[in-house]
Amino acid sequence: MARYFTEEHEWIDLEGDTATVGITDYAQGQLGDIVFVELPESGTMLEKGKDAAVVESVKAASDVYAPISGEVTEANAALEDDPALVNTSPEEDGWFFRMTVSDKSQLEGLMDDKAYKSFCDEL
């Protein structure tokens, strides 16, 4: 399984033709205490760079954009009852949604673990 990172602080796990998407530990740290996550329903067609989800922290609402294009196959129902999972386990249990990958070439140019880490170090 390969994990990719975007400059918008999302991670993408690719397993066959399915991708799992979430936000990184760095991102949750910047957002602070998360109280609500609005996720796309199954069947929603996402287009790279367009609205996919909204994260509400105590203070503010922030958009999450689709890192790649595809169709949502599952949203993480656990976030409905426990949105703080994004704070406590952002890169595992706090995943946002699963989706199909319309165009694998969109993954090209995304960062790997090491590149993302040095990207964050420079922020």
Partner 1 sequence: MGCFSAVRGASMLATKGCVLSDNTDTPQEIEQLPLDAWHRRKGARMVPFAGYEMPIQYSAESGGGIVAEHEWTRSQAGLFDVSHMGQLMLTGENVAAELEKLLPGAITTLKPGKVRYSLLIDEDGGILDDLMVTNATPWIEADEEAGTEGHWGDPAYYLVVNGAMKWDDIAHLREHLPDEVTLTHMDEHALVALQGPNAATALNRVMRNTIEDMIFMESVVHDFGEWPLRITRAGYTGEDGFEISVPAEFAESLCDRLCAEIEVRPCGLGARDSLRLEAGLPLYGHDITTETDPVSADLGFALTKRRREDGGWMGHEKVMDVFNSGPARKRVGLTFEGRLPAREGAKVFDGDTEIGRITSGGFSPSLGHPIAMGYLEKSHIEPGTEVEVEVRNKRLPAKVTTMPFVPHRYHRGK
Query: Which positions lie near partner 1, rule CB under 8 A?
Result: 6, 8-10, 23, 27, 29-33, 35-36, 38, 51, 54-65, 83
Q: Min. distance of Cβ 14 from partner 1 in angstroms? A: 18
Q: Min. distance of Cβ 99 from partner 1 in angstroms? A: 15
Where does residue 108 fall: left (phi above 0), alpha (psi -120 to 50 degrees), or beta otherwise?
beta
Q: Min. distance of Cβ 108 from partner 1 in angstroms? A: 20
Comparison of 18 and 62: residue with beta carbon closer to partner 1: 62
Comparison of 17 and 23: residue with beta carbon closer to partner 1: 23
Q: Min. distance of Cβ 38 from partner 1 in angstroms? A: 7
| DSSP assignment of the chain | -EEEE-TTSEEEEEETTEEEEEE-HHHHHHH-SEEEEE-PPTTPEE-TTSEEEEEEESS-EEEEE-SS-EEEEEE-THHHH-TTHHHHSTTTTT--EEEE-S-GGGGTT-B-HHHHHHHHHT-
Comparison of 16 and 81: residue with beta carbon closer to partner 1: 81
Comparison of 21 and 101: residue with beta carbon closer to partner 1: 21
